């Protein structure tokens, strides 16, 4: 069942231009970790906490997805790659800032829940890094 879900999610990302398998794995794990966080929050009866966690995780996840998509192309651009990355970075930061402003000011979101959601990407990367420890790579 898990293998089928993995295939479905990875197929979804592959269709949207994420060609490197490791990046697809990272994006898939991001979804799983977000779900785990929501389930844990709901088990403890933290409904609003779960909502704010989702907002944070979605923001972090979308940023990560956009970054994953752009760097696949950037690495092959010979000129102007740094400018493209910086423009994309500042636009995403602006979008994230506006959304975070709305959530903090208008919806009075719980900051801890929001930061926990935003930290899902970091947790995902740390787990991915931990799985790589001890693996041997062939020198190219």
Partner 1 sequence: MRKALLTILNTIAFIALASVAFAGEAAPEVISMTSIATALGMALAAAGCGIGQGLGLKAACEGTARNPEASGKITVTMLIGLAMIESLAIYALVVNLILLFANPFLG
Task: Candidates 7-15, 32-40, 46-54, 90-98: pick the segment binding partner 1 (CB under 8 A).
Answer: 90-98
Question: With respect to partner 1, which residue has the nearer C-beta, 1 or 75?
Answer: 75
Residue 125: exposed, middle, or buried by beta-carbon count in 10 A (0-12, 13-18, 19+)? middle
CB environment 69-88: b (16+ within 10 A), e (fewer): bbeeeeeeeeeeeeeeeeeb
Question: With respect to partner 1, which residue has the nearer C-beta, 21 or 39?
Answer: 21
Rounded distance between C-alpha atoms, residue 66 and residue 24, angstroms: 13
Question: With respect to partner 1, which residue has the nearer C-beta, 1 or 140?
Answer: 140
Number of residues binding to partner 1, judged by CB under 8 A: 42
Q: Which residues contact 88 (CB under 8 A, 6 or more apart)?
A: 66, 67, 70
Three-class SS state of 5: helix
Find the shortest distance in angstroms from Cβ 41 to partner 1: 19
Q: Which of 9, 57, 68, 113 forms a contact with partner 1 (CB under 8 A)? A: 68
Q: Name the residues that contact partner 1, by CB under 8 A.
A: 20, 22-23, 26, 59-60, 63-64, 67-68, 71-72, 74-76, 81-82, 85-86, 89-90, 92-93, 96-97, 100-101, 104-105, 108, 111, 114-115, 118-119, 121-122, 125, 128-129, 137, 140
């Amino acid at each position: 069942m898990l293998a089928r879900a993995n295939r479905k999610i990875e197929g979804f990302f592959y269709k949207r231009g994420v060609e490197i398998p490791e990046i697809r794995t990272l994006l898939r794990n991001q979804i799983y970790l977000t779900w785990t966080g929501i389930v844990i929050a709901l088990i403890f009866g933290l409904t609003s906490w779960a909502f704010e966690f989702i907002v944070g995780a979605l923001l972090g996840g979308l940023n990560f997805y956009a970054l994953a998509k752009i760097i696949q192309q950037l690495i092959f651009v010979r000129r102007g790659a740094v400018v493209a990355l910086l423009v994309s970075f500042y636009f995403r930061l602006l979008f994230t800032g506006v959304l975070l402003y709305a959530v903090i000011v208008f919806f009075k979101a719980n900051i801890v829940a929001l930061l926990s959601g935003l930290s899902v990407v970091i947790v995902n990367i740390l787990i991915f890094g931990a799985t790589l420890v001890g693996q041997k790579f062939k020198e190219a």
